[in-house]
């Protein structure tokens, strides 16, 4: 895998030639005598799009790596996540809610190795393996410069692919479970339980002591059973199938899929204050249920908790591999394809980490 290259920027020499008229050899002599060196610029690949559109607007381009300022670090990315929420942003469907300055990068989840540390940074060092989280749409890249408090140590027991896919789905799942106040002894339905958010929400509810009914296609039932849930196939008649499994009723309902699931939760008699959706905005408005997502939890503390649980073997996050490296414009990540099949997508960055 290609590491970021280093080139010499010629702007320093050009400015000197303009200031000190004469042949280039005079500039060379001046540089030798003063010890001044042309600035080194680190260049690496990053995903960018210059206009709204489908996945084919994504390009992999060379960008200049920004050195860390005070309180920042620069991370060589090993893996970065791909999430469904990136699709409407890239297509312009959320331009009023989430304005985008074009050209724009993409991605919020990443994991990698710290290669530079700015001034006044404590607790992290060059060479540390970290899990990162960004709100600047710049994670799908070989290098990310970011505030030091936006990275946490990566436990050895967390793979790079999982570490690079954890932020968005992890904080959203935590928010969903918190929103419906899952307690020991509760019966909880998780709709869309085979997706990245649903898988984690299901496991967090199980860890909290709840009985979880998990809606998903039949091909995912064996896995959901293995993580402690009671699977049920979604589709027409879902409410009746859930009633047959839990005739005493449902205490809380988490909708991670949309497609009318809020209406199912209401039909089951679930307290509307304990129904939370991250996907059915029309249902939320119609029925007055909750719509809390990742912005309602503390990201750093949540990531630390989730990484610890994964490292301890108490939590699983299946991922689907994306491209093994960022190379050419035609090989930019394809979020719609990778995310639609469940789990979390990931794309490799500039190189391998230490573990």
pLDDT tens-digit map of 15-74:
333 333 334 455 556 556 666 555 556 788 999 999 999 999 999 999 999 999 999 999
Q: What are 213-219's contacts with CB under 8 Å, separation 24+?
A: 213/187, 213/188, 213/189, 213/242, 213/245, 213/246, 213/250, 214/189, 214/190, 215/189, 215/190, 215/191, 215/257, 215/261, 216/192
Weakest mean pLDDT among 100-104, 140-144, 231-235: 100-104
Weakest mean pLDDT among 96-100, 115-119, 159-163, 169-173: 96-100
What residues pair up with 254 in beta bridges, in sequence order? 190, 276
Q: Is residue 324 assigned to a domain?
A: no
* Ramachandran sector of residue 192 (left: φ over 0; alpha: ψ -120 to 50; beta: rest): left
Q: Is residue 340 assigned to a domain?
A: no
My answer on whether 184 and 289 are in the same domain is: yes
pTM of the predicted structure, to 2 decimals: 0.82
My answer on whether 284 and 207 are in the same domain is: yes
Average pLDDT rounded to a whole number, residues 208-227? 97
pLDDT (0 to 100) of residue 96: 83
Q: Is residue 114 assigned to a domain?
A: yes
My answer on whether 239 and 280 are in the same domain is: yes
Distance, CA of 114 to CA of 66 (rounded, Å): 14
My answer on whether 179 and 278 are in the same domain is: yes
pLDDT (0 to 100) of residue 41: 63
How many other CB atoms are found less than 10 A from the CB of residue 85? 19
% of the chain exceeding 70 in pLDDT: 79
Weakest mean pLDDT among 36-50, 115-129, 139-153, 318-332: 318-332
Q: Is residue 116 assigned to a domain?
A: yes
Distance, CA of 261 to CA of 258 (rounded, Å): 6
Parallel/antiparallel/unpaired status of strands 59-64 and 72-82 = unpaired
CA 336, 341, 346, 347 torsion-angle sign = negative
My answer on whether 206 and 225 are in the same domain is: yes
My answer on whether 206 and 238 are in the same domain is: yes
As for how many domains the chain has, the answer is 3
Q: Is residue 301 assigned to a domain?
A: no
Q: Is residue 65 assigned to a domain?
A: yes
Full domain range(s) for residue 132: 42-154
Of 154, 189, 211, which residue is a domain's last?
154
Half-sphere exposure of 188 (CA within 13 A, CB side): 35
In sequence order, which residues have a C-beta less than 8 Å from that of residue 355 and are 6 or more positions away? 129, 156
Q: Is residue 237 assigned to a domain?
A: yes
My answer on whether 108 and 140 are in the same domain is: yes
My answer on whether 185 and 269 are in the same domain is: yes
pLDDT (0 to 100) of residue 100: 86
Half-sphere exposure of 45 (CA within 13 A, CB side): 23
Average pLDDT rounded to a whole number, residues 241-267? 96
Please report how the helices 167-179 and 299-311 are oriented relative to each other, as an axis angle in degrees rounded to 10. Answer: 100
Confidence class of residue 345 from pLDDT cuts 50, 70 and 90? low
Q: Is residue 313 assigned to a domain?
A: no
pLDDT (0 to 100) of residue 259: 84
Distance, CA of 262 to CA of 220 (rounded, Å): 22
pLDDT at residue 293 tops 90? yes
Of 281, 296, 311, which residue is a domain's last?
296
Token pair of 287 as six digits: 């029925």
Of 105, 130, 154, which residue is a domain's last?
154
My answer on whether 173 and 291 are in the same domain is: yes
Confidence class of residue 2 from pLDDT cuts 50, 70 and 90? very low
pLDDT at residue 196 tops 90? yes
Q: What is the CATH number of the domain that holds 95?
A: 3.90.180.10
My answer on whether 185 and 239 are in the same domain is: yes
Instruction: Please give the order of strands across the beta sheet that includes 211-216.
Output: 230-233, 211-216, 187-191, 252-255, 275-277
My answer on whether 59 and 124 are in the same domain is: yes
* Ramachandran sector of residue 145 (left: φ over 0; alpha: ψ -120 to 50; beta: rest): beta
Pairwise pLDDT comparison (330 vs 254), residue with the higher score: 254
Q: What is the CATH number of the domain that holds 217?
A: 3.40.50.720
Q: What angle do CA 230, 232, 236 make, to 5 degrees?
A: 160
Mean pLDDT, the chain, integer: 85
My answer on whether 79 and 194 are in the same domain is: no
In sequence order, which residues have a C-beta less than 8 Å from that of residue 15 and are 6 or more positions away? none
């Amino acid at each position: 895998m290609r590491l970021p290259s280093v080139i010499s920027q010629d702007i320093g020499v050009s400015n000197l030639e303009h200031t000190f008229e004469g042949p280039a050899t005079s500039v060379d002599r001046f540089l030798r005598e003063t010890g001044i060196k042309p600035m080194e610029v680190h260049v690496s690949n990053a995903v960018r799009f210059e206009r709204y559109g489908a996945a084919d607007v994504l390009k992999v381009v060379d960008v200049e790596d920004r050195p860390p300022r005070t309180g920042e670090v620069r991370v060589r990315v090993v893996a970065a996540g791909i999430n469904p929420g990136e699709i409407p942003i890239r297509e312009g469907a959320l331009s009023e809610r989430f304005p985008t300055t074009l050209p724009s990068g993409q991605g919020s989840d990443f994991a990698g190795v710290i290669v530079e540390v700015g001034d006044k940074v404590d607790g992290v060092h060059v060479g540390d393996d970290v899990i990162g989280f960004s709100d600047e749409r710049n994670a799908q890249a070989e290098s990310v410069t970011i505030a030091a408090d936006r990275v946490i140590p990566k436990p050895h027991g967390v793979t790079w692919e999982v570490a690079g896919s954890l932020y968005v789905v992890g904080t959203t799942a935590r928010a969903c479970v918190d929103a419906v106040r899952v307690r020991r002894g509760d019966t909880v339905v998780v709709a869309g339980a085979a997706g990245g958010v649903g898988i984690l929400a299901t496991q967090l509810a199980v860890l909290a002591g709840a009985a979880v009914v998990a809606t998903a296609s039949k091909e995912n039932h064996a896995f959901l059973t293995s993580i402690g849930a009671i699977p049920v196939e979604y589709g027409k008649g879902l409410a009746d199938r859930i009633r047959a499994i839990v005739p005493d009723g449902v205490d809380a309902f988490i909708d991670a899929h949309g497609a009318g699931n809020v209406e199912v939760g209401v039909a089951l008699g679930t307290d509307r204050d304990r129904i939370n959706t991250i996907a059915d905005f029309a249902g939320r408005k119609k029925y007055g249920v909750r719509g809390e997502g990742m912005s309602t939890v503390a990201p750093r503390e949540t990531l630390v908790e989730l990484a610890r649980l994964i490292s301890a073997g108490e939590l699983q996050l299946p991922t689907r591999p994306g491209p093994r490296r960022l190379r050419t414009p035609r090989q930019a990540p394809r979020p719609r394809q990778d995310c639609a099949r469940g789990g979390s997508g990931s794309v490799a960055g500039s190189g391998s980490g230490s573990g």
